[in-house]
Structure 1
Amino acid sequence: MVIKSETNSLDIKILLILAFFIFVSAAAMDVYIPAIPSIQEAFHTNQENMQITLSIFVLILGLGQLFSGSISDQVGRKKVLIFSGCCFILGSISCALSHSIQMLIVARIIEAVGSCGITVVTFAIARDLFDGKSLSSAYSLINCGLGLSPLIAPIIGGYLTRWFGWRSTFSFVSILGVVLLLFAVFTVKETLVNAKKISIKTLVTGYYQVLCNHDFVSYSVFSIVGMSVFFAFFSVSPFIIIKELEIPEYEFGFYYFLVGIFFICGSYATSKLAQVFSNYILALLGVIGTIFSGMIMLFLYLFYKESIISFIFPSVAAVFSCALMLASGTGGAMMPFKEQAGSATALLGALQFLICAIVGYWIMSCEQQELIYYLSLSIISLGSFALFVALVMKSFSNERDRLIKIK
């Protein structure tokens, strides 16, 4: 991988590698989901402890980005990527060898440390290489790796569990980590031009400066809402599809496949539309689509018989819409930053995953027999908040233009 030239055009080879990195990071969350019942039975533990293995991963993924982003700004992208890859492999192997739920949780923490570093460095590399509209297009194509994980990882995990047992799911992730590490060592070259030594005071000041940027705060809301809607579906769908709708466990991965297809379509559509429309317009389209999807899901739940079709149909519409928000929101939030790309990416990622963890925890704490109802309310509420922010942004922009004309 080399630094992009001034033409700033998209390099498919680079983007495929970065998308693979994101896929590997996301697969650590997706591939073991079908194995959760088997793990629960093997360790003789309860559902709450199994939920911790997912929640702790998301929390570490969010908090860890605050440090890995700034570190990558100091020592470079490649070193952090290699270290993160090693942690990822170590954590995955430890998960496969776990003999208790406590050991599995600790191993998931190590795995999450590696995953968060991989995620931050991947998007920071993209920010180093691309700019302008090409940056939004690059983020959209990289996010296809995120959509590809729920597309195929649960299916792979289901069959691995059925044929070889639950430990094979973590062994598979370990192999992906080894491939990633080989790319990091032999293919990826350093993309950070000017590395800087950063003190804790400078780090805090840098995060404060990022948070004071109006565009970052505004567009990050779209990105966070898009990610939260996707994660909300991810968290509750196994319980809805398997328990409420009584779909066999080995089949539910195919419904993830369908959802992943629409997420990829949304990301790809954003990459093309970003060449014509602004990030604001694309985010607004995603917001409107999300709200309507949540309303349709709620209407079908309240007035029609509960079925897999009535659940999946509005879900894929919501996921498509949140892909629009996620890509355009991330592109808009990162646009003002070049030297602080790692720190800005880390802060955005931390906010995304922390809010995702809160949303997921809230939904899972609700009545288990009415998860579709609470999921639809969450989608509508998140979308409505994003719409409010979009309207405030428009009002602020109009007022700023008016003041400029007066001056």
Structure 2
Amino acid sequence: MPAMRAAAIKPVPTMLMVLLLFVTQACTDIFLPGLPQIARDFNSSIDVASLTISVYNVCQAAVVLFIGVVSDVRGRRPTILLCFGLHIGATIAIALCASMAVMIALRAVQALGSAAVYIVLRMVIKDTLDKPAQIHATGLLMIGLVLSPILAPLVGSWIVHWSNWRYCFWALCVLDLPLFIWAWVAIGETNLRRAELRASFSWASHARNYGAVLAEPYFRAMALLVGAAFAAFYAFISISSFMFIHQFGLRETTYGYVFMALALSYLAGNRLMSALNGRQLAPRRIIGLGLLVSVAGAVCVLMAPLLPSTMAVVAAIVLGTCLLRLATALIIPPAQVDVTDHFTQHGAHALGLLTCMQYGFAALGTMVVSNLWFAPSTNFLISTVLFVALSALGYLALTARRSH
């Protein structure tokens, strides 16, 4: 079967897939150094400006529930090209927009494109490659996910420093347009079972499968654990530019290097997770370690206001956030494995719903931290304690269920 599939379908260039994933994910981070500028330009408060992040996350959460199915019944090529085209159009329109409301609406369209690329590329890999090649290609694809949070905020910080936030989106357009042309030429239809899948598909059955997963207390506990851990980090993303640039007076370029430290922390956590997995440590043991790291990060953030100088406070917050980011690498991948193993009949639906809940919690973290009425650093402290506590509650629910 793999040999017949490879002969019938032309594989998509791996470099194209890596770059597509990079540029669509970069729109999450590249404009963050300019978020205070955006709020000032549109005369908006922190909570309104942060909707550019939370609405994006909510739409991503919704799209991951159905976009894979759409590509099953309508085809991979039209799905990814249409969604990426809409993503590019939204990016151009954001660079030109004249109001915060319009920008927020366009961010929702951007999320459609980035979520579609994220999901459908994995399905293209599954369609065109045998299992060992799939693992290799997926590993290469992760390069785009790893490089984006390192390079995008760093590049964005320099763009904002020397010009303004709109040029962050123009920079994305410069990358997006040639990639769209390449994708149009290089991506053929890889789903040869489209007619069969369309004939057997039912939206009602699709919804019932999600309902069956959500009905399990195990899944709700795992979703709370994973979602709250992700929310603790995303609260930082949404408030960080106001906290570091406005409250603590850091330059935009210095702020960009904070995200490099966060990305390197995630890489370190990923390597640690792989090493522990290689030693046959159970997924839930790795998740428990990740939770302890989250607690350590929350302690660092809690201690920050007690320190004597601004730079010491900044260092403690950065260290705490790096630990929160490292913890997500220890929590999320093992949780995904545990969930798919638990739901033997509905593993794909369980993983899709867990991803949806993860991004939904990210939006919740953004809204909580930006709607508190204290200084940005205090808002972040409160949200960190809240979401780490919720994550611990999810873990306790898991362990209590297991003991019964």
CA RMSD, aligned part only? 3.6
Q: Does 1:321 align with 2:327?
A: yes
- Whichever residue aligns with residue 337 of structure 2, its letter is G
Q: Which residue of 1 aligns with 2:55?
A: 56
Q: Which residue of 2 aligns with 1:155?
A: 154
Indicate conservation of the 8 Å contact 1:222/1:329, yes or no: no
1:130-151 C-alpha deviation (Å, 9 max, x unpaired): 989x97x987875564443332
Indicate conservation of the 8 Å contact 2:222/2:395, yes or no: no
Unaligned runs of 5+ in 1: 6-12, 397-407
C-alpha spacing 1:167/1:244, structure 2 compared with 1 (3 Å)? closer
C-alpha spacing 1:213/1:271, structure 2 compared with 1 (3 Å)? farther
Q: Which residue of 1 aligns with 2:371?
A: 365
Indicate conservation of the 8 Å contact 2:225/2:392, yes or no: no
Q: Does 1:75 align with 2:74?
A: yes
Indicate conservation of the 8 Å contact 1:291/1:383, yes or no: no
For residues 291 and 137 of structure 2, what CA distance do their matches in structure 1 show? 21
Secondary structure of the structure 2 residue equivalent to 1:99:
coil
Indicate conservation of the 8 Å contact 1:138/1:271, yes or no: no
Unaligned runs of 5+ in 2: 5-11
Q: Which residue of 1 aligns with 2:94?
A: 95
- Whichever residue aligns with residue 266 of structure 1, its letter is G
Indicate conservation of the 8 Å contact 1:294/1:379, yes or no: no
C-alpha spacing 1:393/1:295, structure 2 compared with 1 (3 Å)? farther
TM-score (norm 1): 0.80
- Which 10-residue stretch deviates more, 68-77 or 17-26? 17-26
- Residue 380 of structure 1 and its aligned partner are, at CA, apart by 2.9
For residues 152 and 62 of structure 2, what CA distance do their matches in structure 1 show? 25
- Whichever residue aligns with residue 302 of structure 2, its letter is L
Indicate conservation of the 8 Å contact 1:226/1:323, yes or no: no
Q: Which residue of 1 aligns with 2:384?
A: 376
For residues 60 and 286 of structure 1, what CA distance do their matches in structure 2 show? 27
For residues 161 and 138 of structure 1, what CA distance do their matches in structure 2 show? 34
- Whichever residue aligns with residue 261 of structure 1, its letter is L
**What is the percentage of aligned positions where both structures have the same residue?**
21
For residues 35 and 300 of structure 1, what CA distance do their matches in structure 2 show? 25
For residues 56 and 241 of structure 2, what CA distance do their matches in structure 1 show? 18
Q: Which residue of 1 aligns with 2:289?
A: 285
Secondary structure of the structure 1 residue equivalent to 2:372:
coil
For residues 189 and 293 of structure 2, what CA distance do their matches in structure 1 show? 39
- Whichever residue aligns with residue 173 of structure 2, its letter is S
C-alpha spacing 1:367/1:89, structure 2 compared with 1 (3 Å)? same
- Residue 284 of structure 1 and its aligned partner are, at CA, apart by 1.9
Indicate conservation of the 8 Å contact 2:47/2:370, yes or no: no
Indicate conservation of the 8 Å contact 1:216/1:332, yes or no: no
Indicate conservation of the 8 Å contact 1:21/1:122, yes or no: no
How many residues align? The count is 387
TM-score (norm 2): 0.81
- Which 10-residue stretch deviates more, 17-26 or 369-378? 17-26
1:203-243 C-alpha deviation (Å, 9 max, x unpaired): 21121233356775554444323422321221222222123
Match of 1:199 among 199, 202, 211: 202
Q: Which residue of 1 aligns with 2:233?
A: 230
